[in-house]
Amino acid sequence: MFLNQLSEMEKELYLELCAHAVAADGEFSLEEMEAIALYCHEMMIPNHLPDTDEPLESVLDEINRISSKQVKNIIAFELILLLKHDGAFDKKEKGFIDIVIEKLGLNEEKYNRLEGLVNLHIALSNELDKAIND
């Protein structure tokens, strides 16, 4: 939704976070991979998922170094959406998001607000899909 607002460097860092995120629960769901392809399309970059050779902490440090608070909020929202996209959000994925939220300097209130908006977005998308396909 908002990924087109990221700089070229932030887009690649976001994809690196996606690679770490989809590996968080040890399962690469088809829905998650399709979402990443859509993200690449939205960001107008080639569809790819970078390797996760770069440690998560390093990726987050670089985002903190170059990104505004607005971009950090976008990244957090989009990562939560990615991990909930397949309908499953387990303890490992929640733990991953907790690390990202903490490292990006976002508080629990911000996380709760973003998660609520993600849930609303998913519910609305599902209702729209039903209305269009009935």
| Domain residue extents for the chain | 3-133
* Residue the block writes with tokens 């860092």: 13
What's the confidence (pLDDT) of residue 95? Answer: 92
CA–CA separation, 36 vs 50, rounded Å? 11
Amino acid at 73: N
The pLDDT profile of the chain, 134 residues, written as one tens digit per residue, is: 799 999 999 999 999 999 898 888 777 778 778 888 999 999 999 998 887 788 999 999 999 999 999 999 999 999 999 888 777 788 888 999 999 999 999 999 999 999 999 999 999 999 999 999 98
What's the confidence (pLDDT) of residue 48? Answer: 87
DSSP secondary structure letter of residue 3? G
Our measurement of the distance from residue 71's CA atom to the centroid of its chain's CA atoms, rounded to an integer in Å, reads 12
* CA Rg value for the chain: 14
Instruction: Encode pLDDT of 80-109 as tens digits.
Output: 998 887 777 888 889 999 999 999 999 999
Our measurement of the distance from residue 38's CA atom to the centroid of its chain's CA atoms, rounded to an integer in Å, reads 12
Pick among 2.40.110.10, 3.30.420.40, 1.10.3680.10, 3.40.50.300: CATH of 3-133: 1.10.3680.10
Contact of 39 with 67, CB cutoff 8 Å:
no
What's the confidence (pLDDT) of residue 90? Answer: 82
Amino acid at 84: K
Give the CA dihedral 106, 61, 34, 6, nearest 10 degrees: 80
Contact of 11 with 43, CB cutoff 8 Å:
yes
Amino acid at 121: H
